[in-house]
Structure 1
Amino acid sequence: MTKQVDLKRYLKKHFGFDTFKGNQEEIIKNVLAGNDTFVLMPTGGGKSLCYQLPALILEGTAIVISPLIALMKNQVDAMRSFSEDDGIAHFLNSSLTKSAIQKVKEDVIAGRTRLLYVAPESLTKEENIQFLKQVKISFYAVDEAHCISEWGHDFRPEYRRIRPIINEIGEAPVIALTATATPKVQHDIQKNLGMLNARVFKSSFNRPNLYYEVRPKVNATREIIKILKDNPGKSAIIYCLSRKKVEELAETLVVNGIKALAYHAGMDAATRSKNQDKFLMEEIDVIVATIAFGMGIDKPDVRMVIHYDIPKSLEGYYQETGRAGRDGGEGKCIAFYSYKDIQKLEKFMQGKPLAEQEIGKQLLLETVAYAESSLCRRKTLLHYFGESYTEENCGACDNCLNPKEQFDGEEYILKVLNVVKEVKERFKTEHIVDILTGKVTSVIKSYHHHELDIFGCGDDEDEKFWLAVIRQALVAGLLSKDIENYGLLKLTDKGHQYLEKPYQIRLTRDHDFDEMEQESLSAGGTAALDNTLFSMLKDLRKKISKEKKLPPFVIFQDTSLEAMATYYPITLEELQNMPGVGAGKAKRYGSEFVKLIKRHVEENEIERPMDMVVKTVANKSKFKVSIIQSIDRQISLDDIAESKGIDLLELLKEIESIVYSGTKVNIDYYINQVMDEEHRDDIFYYFKEDAETDDINVALEELGEDEYSEEDIRMVRIKFISEVGN
């Protein structure tokens, strides 16, 4: 066993540090003693040192199993910078050439290599198994070990094969490391790796330097630009769920003067690697990425992690926010939340095996609970990871800095606990809420729960209210959720005691994000609508519409005028940044509008929120351009929709945004196929002569829903705007 003084000497010699962080020293001693070791340490806690230092001390080669090629390269470069011999660390994965693989094998056999990083896929290759059988292995390190569990946020089936392969190559101690694991995931990892007897080292999940905030998803791009402009030169990661959004957002940031690049799995490896290096070398400030980015990215001074889309699980959220402030400095974590995004994620899960859907749904519900809760964010996160946070106010989250009013919750908690007890602790949250609110569903009927005395005992409050009470009962430790069993609610010992001897508990209501979105929208997002200017713009639009003998909405839609009355564009270039205003529209109708706005701004000495006049990428993204090209080639709209993976209605909405911005398109070839002439002319005449608004619902009502479909009306409206307005 290496003495403590020796360990510090090795630490200084190899890494230049004088002291260990947290429980690193204890962990390293356990590995050196040849014991299996399980390390649960938040991002930035110094996990990699726990296997790097023992690998340099022990004889033989440590096999580090890691899921990401970018991460391996990063770590190997770091290890080589601490040593005079490049052979000290190598990686073995699919990115290497045959001669590079040969060089790696020679160094390993010669005993020069102390750390060999291997992707799980490479580990399963027969030739690599045969090669590793010849090597003296000091120990196996399984990094990002949560990938083993389907309850983890990044499940990878090939991780499940690690233990059988270790048995085949030759047994040696195992150290498993992860930055996020709920008690359920932790058990999964240990069971799968055959290390239930491992010594577990669990660091606190609390990151005191991180600030957590959730905002309603209204004008999120504009908000993000504002945040970045208020923090010039600071490093930020922005996470989006889709590759398309990543590219769009990165382009928008660039045209708004922010140094940003995109990163996602659909890019070729060289571009990805180049973009990552530019971020690490601070040639750019912002990386916009899918979750493919950031695992093990060792940039200590990321100051902001922004979630444009809410992640699929709280573990994913914690892992990604954990990339902020790893040096102990400032770290702002801001997420944009809309329940619509959750519904979209649920839709994506359809078609997957039922068990997987059930797990995915459970994980999503936890994310919703976190976003909508008005409890301390830190308390909610730590509770999820099985840790309790006892401070009343953390002082570093939106809920603690702007606390909601509290009310006495004793009677509500008692109702919840009584219902859970009455149904023998065999049901999930949704079922308990249905009983409380008196909602008769087929499931309620099948268990005869509508016949219980307590059925409807909480019908004076809505479902949202009871969800909030249950969440707060969980955090208070009165209830627990049996994750193994689809999230059934159980009373804890503390819950049973509470039923015997109740006491006052203060509760808060959840945030209502639907309401917040509406408020933000009606207030114009980040700036207030200038009603005086808005009515002046409407008058001008009416005047032009009379002159040109066109309905007003053909000139500009209301949403465009609202944006003008909020952001005061005073040049044609600025005008093009307003929704629904393309170059064509700005040129044709814009000059009188910007003159009017300029005069209004000067006369009233208005300070324009110019930092927030967001420049958009020329309104024709690649997606829109390819739609226009397909229409030019007269491809059937059904075929275009199918090739884009959207339905006809969604395609028509895309074409509408193209024509409303001032671009001409001609879809006559399709209209003539699907509609008779009289039908088409009726709709066209309606928009030309009768319509006071271009609203589809109003048109359906006026023209008659029995005779005209929404698709028909949208198609002819596109034809009308394109021919008459553009």
Structure 2
Amino acid sequence: MREVFGFREFRPGQGEIIASVLAGEDVLAVMPTGRGKSLCYQIPALIRPGLTLVISPLIALMRDQVLALRANGIEAASLSSADSPQDREETWQKLEQGTLRLLYLAPERLAVPGLAEKLGRSGLTMIAVDEAHCVSQWGHDFRPEYLRIRELADAAGRPQIAAFTATADAAARRDIAARLFAGPPSEFVSGFDRPNLHLAVAAKQSAFNQTRDFIKARPGQAGIVYCASRKACEDYAQRLKAEGVDAGAYHAGLDPDTRSRSQDRFVASDSMVMCATVAFGMGVDKPDVRFVVHAALPKSMEAYYQEIGRAGRDGEPADTLLLWSLGDAALRRRQIAESESDESRKAMETRRLGALIAYCEAPSCRRQSLLSYFGDTIEPCGNCDLCDDPPALIDGSVLAQKAMSAIARTGQRFGLEHLIGVLRGVKTDKITARGHDQLPTFGIGEDLSKDQWMSVFRQLFAAGAIDQPIDGYGEWLITERGKEILFGRAPIRLRPPQERRAEKVARMRSSGAQSELSVQDQELFEALRRHRAELARESGKPAYTVFSDRTLIEMARERPRDVVEMGDLFGVGERKLERYADGFLEVVEQHI
């Protein structure tokens, strides 16, 4: 770990998992993104003789990990649909010659005739399964190709299996174990907390403007903006470019070469913003993504957790922002209802979406709400928007009763625009034509603005007091829980209805890693980044394969004077020390 990767100590959970793998045990490990899952199979692969096969659905991630391993002097290769015929031939030759230590394989390659025999002859000792939730039909991203892994293992002589994922509840873990392992594996479930991520959620007002302001507050930082559609990706990228932001678009509708070039540019850049659908991100091994923005509601709590996990994988501070609206929630529910899944699957996905909506309207510590979903409990985190500015909860019973009275008295047949108009006493043609200006509820909420009433309705929806029929036309209904509140049989506490809280979130200070550097150290950090970028351009490799941001930050603070001091820095292994020390020491010397 120290000599090859330049790491001084294990991250939580790594040491125990590596010890179990080295003891020859089958392993199922659930570890949050950024906790260093890959090291748990890479280190055993280097210590023991033989070949380690890594199965991953993330082609770009395989490529990036192979580049990083080779930069550390490790013989690694990949086989996927993205490889050229020449690359594949070279990989097969190395496999036959027995020179590979790690071979990364895309799941669609499991069907290659004779694969098991070739792997068996190459001295296969372990299969590492990345993104192992894909093997479970109870996971959030089931991939049927993963069902071939057990067949491959049986045909290849039953090598050791180590499976890793960032998200798997108890049901998914049981399913993974049954599908992958011959017997019960040693199971490790690390805490799900990513304390370096600042969590924030805001009501969607003008999604692009909110996103733009958030990015502008973080100049020179690399980030991802997740959009709801391909068109939105391209629109956001174009408009951000017009604002002076280095932005690109990525979605499944682009041709493979365009996607590949865009992704390569993002990985190599220190400051690019990628506007993407969820097709992007899982396969990007870029540790220095400093922020993730969701411009639309993700499909579930698991998806949200996975997607914010793209930020801050180097362990340094990073920011997240989720923008959501009731319209987003309705769209997600329709997508679930119209899917081809069976009813039990639809019910599960609906519950997962409901958990995410409740998280969006959490009354206190955002991280507590997120982690409780995964079964973790923590004290208030001090690193989310609700801990930054704790709302003073109020007795919301009267506000809730006014809102639900408007729903009831209009026959539970209207959307929010109409309901809020009734509450605020606005005489629109639609309201007067239906005689709703004569209702007792007409004008009883004129003291609140439209934005404030939207806040009330969002909180009632998140609390399960009101709902929309999936096959309806935008109308709102009162649930059984809502009736308890409406008739005074149950209380409800709400955050005070606020206006445009999103703007406040967008203006938040950046918690980026380099923000804590002194002025002098910041100047050196930028000089080190420029030197790193030059080396990356010359080699045609991503900048982080030279050194991560965390290494450069430590270099800027410690200002090493010689090779010995340079070798003590985080992420500086022997191979990189030999290759890069002189150039970086020269940059440091220029700033002393």
Asked if residue 161 in structure 1 is aligned to residue 145 in structure 2, the reply is no
Q: Does 1:377 align with 2:366?
A: yes
Partner of 2:48: 58
Judge conservation of contact 1:90–1:116 (CA < 8 Å) in 2: yes
Q: Which runs of 5+ in 2 are unaligned?
A: 398-403, 413-455, 466-490, 505-592
- Shift in alpha-carbon separation, 1:94–1:121, aligned structure 2, 3 A: same
Letter in 1 for 2:102: L
In 1: Cα distance, 2:29 partner to 2:312 partner: 21
1:352 matches 2:345: no
Q: Deviations over 1:391-425 (max 9, x none)?
A: 1x32222222333334699x9xxxxxxxxxxxxxx
1-side partners of 2:57 and 2:16: how far apart? Answer: 26
Asked if 1:69 corresponds to 2:59, the answer is yes
1:39 matches 2:29: yes
Distance of 1:159 and 1:222 partners within structure 2: 41
Query: Who is 1:22 aligned against?
Result: 12
* Letter in structure 1 aligned against 2:181: G
**CA deviation after TM superposition for structure 1 residue 182, in Å:** 2.2
1:105 aligns with 2:111: no
The answer (yes or no) to whether the contact 1:145–1:189 under 8 Å persists in 2 is: yes
8 Å contact from structure 2 (residues 76, 101) kept in 1: yes
For residue 145 of structure 1, report the CA deviation from its aligned partner: 0.8
SS of aligned partner of 1:126: coil
Quote how far apart the aligned CAs of 1:54 are. Answer: 0.7
Within 5 Å, give how 1:35-434 maps onto structure 2: 35-83=25-73, 88-194=75-181, 197-282=184-269, 284-349=271-336, 350-355=338-343, 356-389=345-378, 391=379, 393-406=380-393
Alignment of 1:509 onto 2:493 = yes
Q: Which has the larger radius of gyration?
A: 1
Q: Relative contact order (C-alpha < 8 Å, sep 6+): which is higher?
A: 2
Give distance in 2, aligned partners of 1:164 and 1:295. Answer: 26
Counterpart of 2:463, as a letter, is A
| Helix, strand or coil at the partner of 2:200 | strand
Structure 1 466/305 Cα, relative in aligned 2: closer, same or farther at 3 Å?
A: closer
User: Equivalent residue of 2:37, what SS?
Assistant: coil
Question: 1:337 is matched by which residue type in structure 2?
Answer: W
Contact preservation (8 Å) 2:29, 2:188: yes
Q: Deviations over 1:302-333 (max 9, x none)?
A: 22110001110111111111222223322111
- 1:468 maps onto 2:457 in alignment: no
Q: Displacement, 1:139? A: 0.5
Matched with 1:497 is none
Q: Summarize the Cα distance change of 1:469–1:351 in structure 2 as closer, same or farther, 3 Å threshold.
A: closer
Deviation at 1:57, TM superposition (A): 1.5
2:536 matched to which residue of 1?
A: none
Structure 1 residue 260 displacement after superposition: 0.5
Cα deviation, residue 526, structure 1: 5.4
The DSSP-based 3-state class of the residue aligned with 2:199 is strand
Question: Contact 1:183/1:385 (CA < 8 Å) preserved in 2?
Answer: no
Contact 1:468 1:509 in 2 (8 A): no
Deviation at 1:510, TM superposition (A): 4.8
How far is 1:462 from its partner?
Answer: 10
* Distance in structure 2 (CA, Å) of the matches to 1:168 and 1:468: 51
Letter in 2 for 1:220: A
User: Per the alignment, do residues 259 and 82 of structure 1 end up closer, same or farther by CA in structure 2, a change over 3 Å counting?
Assistant: same
Say if 2:354 and 2:462, in contact at 8 Å, map to a contact too: no
Cα offsets for 1:23-64 (capped at 9, x unmatched): 222211211111011111111111111111111121211110
Give the distance between the partners of 2:165 and 2:211, measured in 1 at CA.
30
Is the Cα–Cα contact under 8 Å of residues 314 and 367 in structure 1 kept in the other structure?
Answer: yes
Q: What's the secondary structure of 1:147's corresponding residue?
A: helix
User: Which residue pairs with 2:551 in the alignment?
Assistant: none
**In structure 2, how many angstroms separate the alpha carbons of the residues matched to 1:162 and 1:297?**
23
What amino acid is the match of 2:68? Answer: A
Q: 1:346 to 1:406 in 2, by over 3 A?
A: closer
Letter in 2 for 1:207: R
- Which amino acid in the other structure matches residue 363 of structure 2? S
What is the CA distance between 1:222 and its match in structure 2?
0.7
Residue 508 of structure 1, CA deviation: 6.9
| Pairwise CA distance, 1:270 | 2.3
Asked whether the equivalents of residues 31 and 37 of structure 1 are also in contact (C-alpha less than 8 Å), the reply is: yes
Q: How much is the aligned-residue C-alpha RMSD, in angstroms?
A: 3.1
Give aligned-pair identity as a percent.
42
Q: TM-score scaled by structure 1?
A: 0.55
Q: Distance in 1 between matches of 2:3 and 2:314?
A: 22
In structure 2, the CA distance between the partners of 1:31 and 1:301, relative to structure 1 (3 Å rule), is: same
How many residues align? The count is: 424
Match of 1:8 in 2: none
Deviation string 1:124-143 (CA, Å, 9 cap, x unpaired) is 22242343243321100000
> How far has the Cα of 1:463 moved from its partner?
11
Separation in structure 1 between the aligned mates of residue 154 and residue 176 of structure 2, nearest angstrom: 17
Q: Is the Cα–Cα contact under 8 Å of residues 182 and 384 in structure 1 kept in the other structure? A: no
